[in-house]
Amino acid sequence: MEDEHNARIAKRAPARGRARRVALLATVALAACAFSAASAQAVIVTVSGQRIGMELLPNAASKPGASPALRSAAKPAKKGSALIDNGGPVMPSNTNYAIFWDPTGGGAFPSGYQAGIERWFGDLAHDSGGLSNTDSILTQYGANYSSHFAGGFIDTDPYPPNGCNAAAKCLDSAQVRAELVSFVQSRALPTDLEHAYFLLTPSGVESCTDEAEKVCSAGTGPQHRVYCSYHERIELAKGVLVYAYTPYMAGLGCGDEKNKPNGNPSDEELSGGLVHEHSEAVTDPELNAWYDQQGKEVGDKCRVSNPNEEFGEPLGRAPNGSDYNQVVNGHLYWYQQEWSNEAGGCAQRKVALPTLKKMTPKSGPETGGTAVTITGTGFLGTVSVDFGTTPAKEVTVESATTIVAVSPAHEAGKVFVTVTAEGGTSAAENTKAKFKYKKVKAPKAH
C-alpha cells in the first residue's frame, strides 16, 4: 500500500506542484478573508497555520464575540461560480471508516445512532457506481463513485485532559489529530488517498481549532460557537491520513431538526455535516483540488440558508411524516445537495430518480395479469417494474414519462409498485405507487 501511495504521489507531482502555488495564493487570500458570509456557511480556512475545510454554523462570522479575523472576513458570496480544478488529487475510490470515540464503549451515544451512521455508509457502498444519490455528482470532478465501507469502530481510549476551555470536555485540533494517528497506526490501517476516516464524538464532547478558543464546535458557548464539522489531512512519514471530525450535532442547529426520515439522531448528523464532509473529502482530500474562487468546496456551495437550495425538492414523505430527498439502497434519507458544474447549481443526484404519479389499468383485472399504464418521471435507460416483490411480466417504455407494465397473476388487494431506471429505484413508500387490484367478477350465468 505504501508503494502504491508513493507511485500515485510521483505520478501527480506536476499537478501537486501547481496545487502548492494555488494553495499559497489561497492562503494569502484567506488571511484577509478566512470565512464567507453567513449565507454561505462553509469554506476552506487557515486557522493557527492549519488549512481546514470547515462547515460553519449560520451567522458564525457575525456573532458577538467572534474573533476579529472572522468579523472582518464576512463578505457576500458569489453565486453561480463553478468549482475550479486547482491541480490537487481527488480520491479515485473511497473506503470509509467510522470511528466512534467513547471511553465507555459506545454507551454515551444514543440508541440507534451508531447503527444509523453505519447503515448510511453501507447503503452508499451498496449503490456504488449508480446515478441515484449525491455521490454520483462527484464523478464529474474525477472521483469515481466507487465507495466501500470498512466498518465502524468504538474507540475506547480515554479522552486527554482538556486542550481548550470552551466546554466541560473540550479537545483541541492537535488532540483530535493525535488520537486519529494513534488509532489508525496501532491497527495498521491504510493511510492513502483511497481511505477516509470519520471521527465522531458523543454529546458534551466539543472541540476548538485555535489557541484563543474563538473557533469552536456548535455545542460550546455562544462566544465560541463557529463550526459544525471539518475535514483535513495529516501528512505522515508513510502516506497521508484523510479524515473528517463531526462532533455530536443533534439540537445544535447544524442539521435539519424537523425532517428525520429515520427518526434517529443520526439523521441530523447526516444532514448537518457527515455527508457534506464525505463529499468534500472525496473531491478535495488534500485541500488543493476542487474549490471555487472563494475557497468553497463541493458541499460548501450548497450549504446555504435557503432550504430549497440546500436540500432541493423532497421526493416524498417517510412513514413518520418527514420529508426525504434521497433513496439509497431502498432506505430514505434527507441531506444537503452537492454542487454540480454540469448542472450549474446544486443537485440531489446526477440523473433524476424515477417518480410515480399515476397508475391506470389499460385492461380489466385478469387472472393472468393486468396491463397498467404508469405515468411519472425519470423512466430512462433500461426500465424494470416490480409489483410488490414480483417482477412485471412485460414492460414497454413509451416515453421518459410513460410506461406500460403487465402485472403478474394476482388476487384482489393493494400492492406497492416500484420502477427501476437509470437514476435508481423509486421509493415504495410513495403512496401514489400503491396499486389496487380489483376483485375479478364472476361471469354472468346464462
pLDDT 10s digits, 313-331: 898 889 999 999 998 998 9
| Mean pLDDT of the region 122-145 | 94
Task: Report which of residues 57 and 260 the model is more confident about.
Answer: 260
- What are the backbone angles phi and psi of residue 310, rounded to the nearest 5°? -75, -45
Mean pLDDT of the chain: 82
**How far is it between the farthest Cα atoms of the chain?**
94
**CB distance 129 to 111 below 8 Å:** no
Can you tell me the distance from the alpha carbon of 42 to that of 24, in angstroms, rounded to the nearest whole number? Answer: 20
Can you tell me the distance from the alpha carbon of 253 to that of 228, in angstroms, rounded to the nearest whole number? Answer: 9
Cell of 20: 502548492
Can you tell me the distance from the alpha carbon of 35 to that of 26, in angstroms, rounded to the nearest whole number? Answer: 12
Model confidence at 210, in pLDDT bands (50, 70, 90)?
Answer: confident
Domain boundaries, given as residue ranges, for the chain: 2-347, 355-437
**CB distance 142 to 126 below 8 Å:** no
DSSP state of 270: I
**Three-state secondary-structure class, residue 180:** helix
Residue showing cell 380489466? 364
Q: At what angle do helices 13-32 and 2-11 cross, to 10 degrees?
A: 80
- Tens of pLDDT, residue by residue over 220-270, are 988 888 899 999 999 999 999 999 999 999 999 899 999 999 999 999 999
With b for 16 or more beta-carbon neighbours within 10 A and e for fewer, the 66-95 pattern comes to bbebbeebbeebeeeeebebbbbbbbeebb
Round to the nearest angstrom and report the end-to-end CA distance of the chain. Answer: 81
Can you tell me the distance from the alpha carbon of 248 to that of 229, in angstroms, rounded to the nearest whole number? Answer: 9
Sequence-distant (≥ 6) Cβ neighbours of residue 307 within 8 angstroms: 256
**CB distance 160 to 182 below 8 Å:** no
Q: What is the pLDDT of residue 147?
A: 97
- Tens of pLDDT, residue by residue over 46-55, are 777 778 888 8
- For 175-313, where are the E strands, in sequence order? 195-200, 205-208, 216-217, 225-235, 240-246, 290-291
Task: Report which of residues 210 and 12 the model is more confident about.
Answer: 210
Sequence-distant (≥ 6) Cβ neighbours of residue 348 within 8 angstroms: 133, 134, 312, 325, 326, 337
Can you tell me the distance from the alpha carbon of 254 to that of 271, in angstroms, rounded to the nearest whole number? Answer: 8
CA–chain centroid gap for 434, Å, is: 30
Q: What is the pLDDT of residue 143?
A: 94
Which uninterrupted H or E stretch holds 418? strand 413-421
Q: What is the pLDDT of residue 21?
A: 28
Task: Report which of residues 436 and 234 the model is more confident about.
Answer: 234
**Taking 80 as the threshold, does the pLDDT of residue 15 lie above it?**
no
Q: What is the pLDDT of residue 365?
A: 57
Q: What is the pLDDT of residue 442?
A: 45
Model confidence at 385, in pLDDT bands (50, 70, 90)?
Answer: very high
| Mean pLDDT of the region 303-312 | 84
Least confident of 84-88, 226-230, 290-294, 439-443: 439-443
Which is nearest to 395 in space by CA: 380, 387, 406?
406
Residue showing cell 468546496? 297
- Tens of pLDDT, residue by residue over 403-412, are 999 888 776 6
**Taking 60 as the threshold, does the pLDDT of residue 3 lie above it?**
no
| Mean pLDDT of the region 14-34 | 30
Model confidence at 6, in pLDDT bands (50, 70, 90)?
Answer: very low
| Mean pLDDT of the region 339-367 | 82
DSSP state of 29: H
Domain formed by 355-437, architecture: Sandwich (2.60)
Which is nearest to 147 in space by CA: 132, 126, 131, 133?
126
| Mean pLDDT of the region 101-111 | 96
Per DSSP, what are the bridge partners of residue 417? Answer: 387
Task: Report which of residues 339 and 425 the model is more confident about.
Answer: 339
Cell of 17: 506542484
Can you tell me the distance from the alpha carbon of 42 to that of 295, in angstroms, rounded to the nearest whole number? Answer: 9
| Mean pLDDT of the region 75-103 | 88
Residue showing cell 451512521? 117
Per DSSP, what are the bridge partners of residue 358? Answer: 375
Q: What is the pLDDT of residue 12?
A: 35
Can you tell me the distance from the alpha carbon of 260 to that of 253, in angstroms, rounded to the nearest whole number? Answer: 14
**Taking 60 as the threshold, does the pLDDT of residue 37 lie above it?**
no
Can you tell me the distance from the alpha carbon of 195 to that of 96, in angstroms, rounded to the nearest whole number? Answer: 6
Q: What is the pLDDT of residue 304?
A: 80
Can you tell me the distance from the alpha carbon of 333 to that of 313, in angstroms, rounded to the nearest whole number? Answer: 13
**Taking 80 as the threshold, does the pLDDT of residue 414 lie above it?**
no
Percent of the chain with pLDDT over 90: 55
